[in-house]
Each structure stands twice: as structure tokens, then as C-alpha cells.
């Protein structure tokens, strides 16, 4: 979180020192005025302040304006509103990227997810790196042979921001089978940062999920059953184009609602949770339910492909790269789907 203090605008800001209890390392929370040339930095600073539910923000008196947060909810509400204004612009890919297709993006993001899992990265590294990827693709046209280099750099940047010990550049080069050299990685890193205007401190769906769970006050047993599904659902949402244009707060609400339905498939469970999320976040409950249905339908489709592949030797031996990508995704869902299938579906939202 200290990265946002490296901007030239930081002379207008106050720095509050704190401790990240999860990793027992120092962190910096920068609080500044939402005016003038410091506005973008202010947004990043507030996002950094709410990256964890226990983040501590002390009211400070800045040079230009006194910032007073009477309640922690004021910060969170501001970030949710800002998240809806910072939609992923990957929908502009068709006008910017003439050579990159949705299937190529899906294949790349699946490979990025596998690398993050292999390195046991923090849950936020993968969705954050996909955000960098989508933002860059909406700004700079590239060739197909450059796509993996961009994805590798995005993982490199996200790992630096989130991890106490980031993935080394040489290790990432190894994961590309040396199709990307170390010199290429470092040069692409500078290009990506310049295109992103060095604005790298963004929230992910996992960050919002932490706050939703904190405010919902669900039973500990329920929360323990939800977390493995939530991690997988957020990863799937990041790999699929149809969810790329949604705000991270909406992805978090939809994933939470979908997971809750699978834990409690009683009729009305989805509607009741969507209403509670609406009261907490002011996100339209009908939008949450619509995206929940889309997400569960997507999961059901992938699971059916996985089951068809297991039952058909012809499909199981298919060598199509696109099919194998879908199969890997369905395999990641296998354990989750077995848990869901143990109970007969009762809610119309259930993913099977």
C-alpha cells in the first residue's frame, strides 16, 4: 500500500502508519483531499485504506482541506460508489484490439490463474492482475505474440503490490517457457505502468467480499463453507469476458449470493441475501439477482462440459486447445460441484 505514496502529488497528503496484522508488516495509508490534481491519488489512497476490514484510518488535517471520516462506513460507501464509476473498459477491446479475441483472453487468464495457484499467491493477486490486463488491452493495441508478455507483466505488478515476497522475474520467465526474456519483461513492465498512469492500487472482488461478510454477520460455519466457493467463483468471473465489464463490488455481491444459494438452497434464499446486500451497499438487488443467475448458468454449463468429457472417450481425447481450456476450468469446479450435488436443488437459482 506504500506504492501510492510515490506519486508527485504526495506532498499534499498525510501519511498514517499502521500494521497489517495478517502479515505483520508495516503498511502506509495515505489520506488526502479529493480536490485538484490529487484526486486520482485520493481515490487510490481510500481504496488502500479499506483493503482490509480492520484497516485503521485516523482523521488528519491536510494542507489544503480537513478530511474527517465520522464513520468507517463513509469510506466504504465512497469506495463502492467510486467502483461503479471505474468500470472495466475491456468492452472497448473490439475497437482497440483487432487481433486479440475473447478466447485468447480466456486462455491467457487461465494460464495466469494456474501460475498464481502454483506460486500460492494471495487471493487478490490473480483478479488484480486481470484488471491490469483488461485496462491495458483497452488502451494499447498489441500483437498475438505479445499477449503472454503482457499477462506476465500484469502478474508481476500485482504480486509486487500485494505480496510481502513477490514472484521473482526469473521465475515468471521460467513459467513462460522462456518465450519472454527478462529484458522483455522489464521493458514491458515500464510500458504497462505508463499506460496505466501508474495507477495500480485497485480493489478486487475479494476485498469487497471481506467487507460484505463483515457486515452480514453470517454464522462462522456458514462463512467457512462459503469461502472456498467464493475464491473459485471470483477466479472464474475474472477469466470470462461477460463478467469483465462488471464493477468489482457487483462481482463480489453476485459471487456471494451464488455461493449462499448453494449452501442454503431453500426458496427465497437468493432474494433475501440480495436484499440485505442492497441495504448494505445500495447496489440494486435485481441487478445482483440477474448476475447471480448468469454466473450460476455459466458454472452449470462448464460442469456439463466436464461430465460430457468424462462420459465420452471421443471428447475426452480431443486435442483442441480451446476445449482443453474449458475442461481445466470445469475440473477446478469438480470439488465445488460435488458439494452442491449432495443436496437436492430447491431454489430456482441452484447451479445444477
Instruction: Supply the pLDDT for residue 94.
Output: 58
Mean pLDDT of 26-53: 47
Is 331 in the same domain as 218?
Answer: yes
Dihedral angle, C-alpha 285, 287, 292, 297, nearest 10 °: 150
Bridge partners (DSSP) of residue 29 are: 16
Specify whether 320 is located in the same domain as 296.
yes
Do 321 and 251 share a domain, yes or no? Answer: yes
Residue-wise pLDDT for 214-243, tens only, equals 888 888 888 888 888 888 889 989 998 888
Q: Is the pLDDT of residue 82 over 60?
A: no
At 31, is the secondary structure helix, strand, or coil? strand
Residues 107 and 184 in one domain: yes
Q: Are residues 190 and 210 in the same domain?
A: no
Q: Note the pLDDT tens digit of each residue in 102-131.
A: 889 999 999 999 999 999 999 999 999 999
- With a pLDDT cut of 90, the percent of the chain lying above it is 27
Judge whether residue 286 has pLDDT over 70.
Answer: yes
Number of residues in the chain: 352
Which conformational region is residue 264 in: left (phi greater than 0), alpha (psi within -120 to 50 degrees), or beta?
beta
Check if the beta carbon of residue 128 is closer than 8 Å to that of residue 159. no
pLDDT at 261: 86
Q: Please classify residue 314 by burial: count the beta carbons closer than 10 Å to its beta carbon, then call 0-12 exposed, 13-18 middle and 19+ buried.
A: exposed
Give domain status of residue 210, yes or no. Answer: yes
The neighbour count for residue 232, using CB atoms within 10 Å, is 18
CATH of the domain at 278: 1.10.472.10
Domain range for residue 10? 2-70
Domain boundary among 70, 101, 120: 70
Confidence of residue 15 (pLDDT cuts 50, 70, 90): very low
Q: What is the pLDDT of residues 60-79, one digit of tens each?
A: 444 333 334 344 455 555 55
Question: Per-residue pLDDT averaged across 318-326, rounded?
Answer: 45
Bridge-based pairing state of the strands 14-20 and 66-67: unpaired
The fraction of the chain above a pLDDT of 70, given in percent, is 62
Instruction: pLDDT band for 331, please (50, 70, 90 cuts).
Output: low
Amino acid at each position: 500500500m506504500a506504492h501510492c505514496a510515490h506519486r508527485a502529488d504526495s506532498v499534499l497528503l498525510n501519511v498514517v502508519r499502521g500494521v497489517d496484522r495478517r502479515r505483520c508488516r508495516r503498511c502506509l495509508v495515505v489520506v488526502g483531499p479529493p480536490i485538484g490534481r490529487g484526486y486520482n491519488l485520493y481515490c487510490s489512497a481510500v481504496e488502500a485504506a479499506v483493503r482490509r476490514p480492520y484497516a485503521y484510518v485516523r482523521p488528519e488535517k491536510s494542507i489544503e482541506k480537513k478530511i474527517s471520516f465520522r464513520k468507517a462506513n463513509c469510506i466504504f460507501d465512497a469506495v463502492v460508489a467510486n467502483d461503479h464509476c471505474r468500470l472495466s473498459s475491456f468492452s472497448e477491446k473490439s475497437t482497440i484490439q483487432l487481433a486479440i479475441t475473447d478466447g485468447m483472453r480466456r486462455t491467457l487468464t487461465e494460464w495466469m490463474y494456474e501460475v498464481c495457484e502454483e506460486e500460492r499467491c494471495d487471493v487478490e493477486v490473480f483478479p488484480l492482475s486481470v484488471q491490469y490486463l483488461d485496462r491495458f488491452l483497452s488502451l494499447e493495441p498489441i500483437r498475438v505474440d505479445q499477449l503472454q508478455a503482457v499477462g506476465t507483466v500484469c502478474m508481476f505488478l500485482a504480486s509486487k503490490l500485494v505480496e510481502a515476497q513477490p514472484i521473482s522475474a526469473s521465475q515468471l520467465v521460467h513459467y513462460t517457457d522462456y518465450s519472454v526474456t527478462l529484458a522483455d519483461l522489464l521493458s514491458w513492465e515500464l510500458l504497462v505502468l505508463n499506460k496505466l498512469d501508474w495507477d495500480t492500487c485497485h480493489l478486487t472482488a475479494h476485498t469487497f467480499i471481506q467487507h460484505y461478510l463483515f457486515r452480514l454477520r453470517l454464522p462462522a460455519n456458514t462463512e467457512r463453507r462459503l469461502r472456498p466457493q467464493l475464491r473459485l467463483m471470483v477466479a472464474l468471473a475474472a477469466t470470462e469476458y461477460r463478467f469483465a465489464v462488471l464493477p468489482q463490488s457487483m462481482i463480489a455481491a453476485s459471487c456471494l449470493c451464488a455461493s449462499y444459494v448453494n449452501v442454503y438452497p431453500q426458496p427465497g434464499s437468493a432474494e433475501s441475501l440480495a436484499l440485505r446486500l442492497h441495504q448494505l451497499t445500495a447496489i440494486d438487488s435485481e441487478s445482483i439477482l440477474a448476475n447471480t443467475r448468469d454466473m450460476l448458468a455459466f458454472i452449470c454449463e462448464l460442469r456439463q462440459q466436464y461430465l460430457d468429457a468424462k462420459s465420452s472417450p471421443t471428447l475426452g481425447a480431443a486435442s483442441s486447445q480451446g476445449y482443453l481450456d474449458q475442461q481445466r476450468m470445469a475440473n477446478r469446479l469438480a470439488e465445488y460441484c460435488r458439494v452442491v450435488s449432495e443436496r437436492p436443488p430447491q431454489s430456482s437459482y441452484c447451479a445444477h
